[in-house]
Structure 1
Amino acid sequence: MDKAGFGIYLRSALFLAVQTMITVLLTPLVLLVSLLPRYEYRYLLARLWARSLIWAASTLCGIRYEIQGIENIPEQNGIVLSKHQSAWETLMLFLLFPKAVYVLKQELLKIPFFGWCLARYRHIAIDRSQPRAAMLSLQKQGLARLKEGHWVIIFPEGTRVAPGERRRYAGSGGALAERAGVPVVPVAHNAGECWPRRSFLKYPGVIRVRIGPPLFGSASEINCKAEQWIESWMAEITASVPQGHPARGSLV
């Protein structure tokens, strides 16, 4: 069981209430704006939603952050390969990379309010129960989104992983980058230390985000370089977190 005091539970509950309120209030606006011909208005609302939740997490739960490497983001759009530990980075990456779209599982589109809004954007929804079809869909939709000027954000491990853990990296990001001729930007962070996966609780602390230099080359070269860069930075970031942090090792 998490060793969290009453204050952690209270602040986490307040954040959940604010998160729910903001999402419910913005949903009808997103649905209405999606009827307009100009696509940019939807992004204004999405960025407002993401910025509001990051502010709420900071104000209510004490989750601060520091970002290094923003200068590494090129003007040309491309692909982001990022570590995936929580919901926090999905908010921040959306703010860091213009017109970002995510590769996500189709089930998310069925979630009331949140899923309804997701469906109004040009995210790449795939069926993970059919790996081959999912790969083909990702490549086809990914090329289209890149040509439209979007950044495509991929979590190469496929799902959220607990701090200190890692999974096999999929090669779809490098394959798409080689085919489209766009750069890949690797991202490492420790968001799971403060906003753990599958947990209601949010812990105060500092989320450290590291953005790497653009990667080019063949699919295998890109994937190898991205994994090495991300995991080397993960080791350094994780080592800087106190061993007594309540989020460490508390989840399976």
Structure 2
Amino acid sequence: MALLRSVLFNVLAFVLTLLMGVGAFPIRWFAKRYALPYARLWARLVLLLFRRICGVEVRITGQENLAAAGQGPMLIASQHQSAFDTLIWMLLLPRPSYVMKGELRRIPLLGPMLILAGMMPIERAAGAKAMRVLLRETEKAVAAGKQIVIFPEGTRTAPGAQVPLKPGIAAMAAHAGLPVVPVATNSGLFWGRNAFLKRPGVLYVAIGAPVAPANRKLLLGEIEKSWRVLEQDFATPGITAQAQEAPHGG
């Protein structure tokens, strides 16, 4: 049953993305201000298919912590386990802007819409230049009142795995003086990295209390500490055992 559900979801999500990608041409040419609402609609429809077809219940805890950080600019420091994590914040934030890999802008149909929707493409191989671009883009996002979503792990990571966090978020927080909201998830148990098979179950997005960016050197440790608390108290009960049982692609 899970295989059939996965086939149906993957086919419908691909067709939806293709159709909406083609349908975005008028927006790109004549109505650029609708790029973000259009991208938000695409994310909403893909996640609707994911929930209904694959039998996934999404539970979001700690949304009051977003309110505590205010409605203006902030940094969302989210764990990154699946494509789900790149979609959900389109629905949870008023003006989201993702820090994304620069190569994504070159994806036909999708890439140009990501740029128009206000995402922040960074060429990570550019070294120090990439950091300067990141801080410059952060300034622009703050000036526009956007909420910046960044995945400090740098790539999709299996549930329960721990990797060194990238320093970019600490530089962004110190440079712009933004509150940092840590987020834990177990999305990889249901939509694994490069995994064709999608699994049913309860998917958690656990939003923690804002972390003060006062000490740049300690910020990464504070984010990791918050993630571990969120995993234990809200997001991923039994995550180690589940991660061992559920195969992940990639």
TM-score (norm 1): 0.89
Cα displacement string for residues 162-219 of structure 1 (whole angstroms, at most 9, x for unaligned residues)? 1111110112212212221221111111000000001111000111111111222232
Task: Pick the aligned partner of 1:248 from 241, 246, 249.
Answer: 246
Residues 163 and 249, structure 1, Cα contact 8 Å, conserved in 2 = no
Rounded Cα–Cα distance in structure 1 between residues aligned with 2:80 and 2:90: 14
Question: Partner of 2:197 in structure 1?
Answer: 201
Question: Partner of 2:60 in structure 1?
Answer: 67
Q: 1:247 to 1:61 in 2, by over 3 A?
A: farther
What is the percentage of aligned positions where both structures have the same residue?
Answer: 33
Q: 1:235 to 1:161 in 2, by over 3 A?
A: farther
Any idea what SS the aligned residue of 1:129 has?
helix
Runs of at least 4 residues of structure 1 off by over 4 A?
244-247, 249-252
Long gaps (5+) in structure 1: 1-6
Residues 14 and 60, structure 1, Cα contact 8 Å, conserved in 2 = yes
Task: Pick the aligned partner of 1:8 from 2, 5, 9.
Answer: 2
Q: 1:136 to 1:242 in 2, by over 3 A?
A: closer
The Cα shift of 1:69 comes to 0.6
Within-5 A mapping of 1:67-146: 67-73=60-66, 74-146=70-142
Q: 1:76 to 1:250 in 2, by over 3 A?
A: closer
Say whether residues 1:231 and 2:228 are aligned partners. yes
Task: Pick the aligned partner of 1:218 from 205, 212, 215.
Answer: 215
State the AA in 1 paired with 2:114: L
Rounded Cα–Cα distance in structure 2 between residues aligned with 1:212 and 1:79: 12
Structure that is richer in helix per residue: 2
Q: 1:47 to 1:35 in 2, by over 3 A?
A: same
Say whether residues 1:33 and 2:59 are aligned partners. no
Say whether residues 1:174 and 2:170 are aligned partners. yes
Question: Partner of 2:39 in structure 1?
Answer: 46
Q: 1:242 to 1:158 in 2, by over 3 A?
A: closer
The Cα shift of 1:60 comes to 0.7
Task: Pick the aligned partner of 2:183 from 163, 178, 187.
Answer: 187
Question: Partner of 2:159 in structure 1?
Answer: 163
TM-score (norm 2): 0.90
Residues 122 and 133, structure 2, Cα contact 8 Å, conserved in 1 = yes
Residues 109 and 118, structure 1, Cα contact 8 Å, conserved in 2 = yes
Rounded Cα–Cα distance in structure 1 between residues aligned with 2:217 and 2:114: 31
Residues 158 and 243, structure 2, Cα contact 8 Å, conserved in 1 = no
Cα displacement string for residues 59-82 of structure 1 (whole angstroms, at most 9, x for unaligned residues)? 111111101111111222211110
State the AA in 2 paired with 1:239: P
Q: Tell me the C-alpha RMSD between the 2 structures.
A: 2.0
Q: 1:250 to 1:196 in 2, by over 3 A?
A: closer
Long gaps (5+) in structure 2: none
The Cα shift of 1:35 comes to 3.4
The Cα shift of 1:246 comes to 7.8
Q: Matched residue pairs, number?
A: 245
